[in-house]
Amino acid sequence: NLGVRLDNPPSAEEAIKAAGMDWEVERRPIYTRYPQVGLPDAMHEILGHAALARSSDGKVLGVVGKGYRPIQNRTIFSIFDPFIQNGSLQFETAGSLHGGRIVWVLAALADGVREVVKGDPIKMYTLLSASHDGSMALAGRDTDIRVVCNNTLGAAHADTIMARIRHTRSAGERMAKFQDALAERHAVFASNLERYRFLA
């Protein structure tokens, strides 16, 4: 359950390949078998539900309802792309837990550790985490925890959610708004840092 350290890849596409997470999540129909008198067992599709399967090996990750649309790993990584390109963020770590059921990507403020006073460093991270089994929405958080495994992911999940995006058709519109919110949060962090220094 360890994540992958990312050595500052210059794009979401390179980051997702380095993390080994360049697979897709596919919706697949679910069937059940039951006998009919005098006939071989019949297969019947379970309408209104679908299995989520990993494209790389067909492993089933979960079962969801008809309105669920998986947010792909590539889409999650790409949320950070504008900030990677303008140099304000850099990819830090990423991981896939429980066979791909839970995924995350962590980015750090690109200018690294900032000190309020000498010996009092602060480093800001932004965490995106989501499930591919229907158990949780895509969520974005500011955190000072460097996520590298299941335990640190759990600890970071205690931090306040900046934005939550459900796995539905409208997810694309909400992701654009999340990028705007992320830019605002970075400005707030810089402003708060100056206040901390003034107080110190």
Model confidence, pTM: 0.81
**Interval 81-85 mean pLDDT:** 88
Which of 53-57, 95-99, 191-195 has the lowest average pLDDT?
A: 191-195
Checking if the pLDDT of 162 tops 70, the result is yes
Does pLDDT of 61 surpass 80? yes
Alpha carbon distance 61, 137 (integer Å): 15
Does the pLDDT value for residue 3 go beyond 60? yes
Residue 101 binned pLDDT confidence (cut-offs 50, 70, 90): very high
Please give the average per-residue pLDDT across 58-73, as a whole number: 92
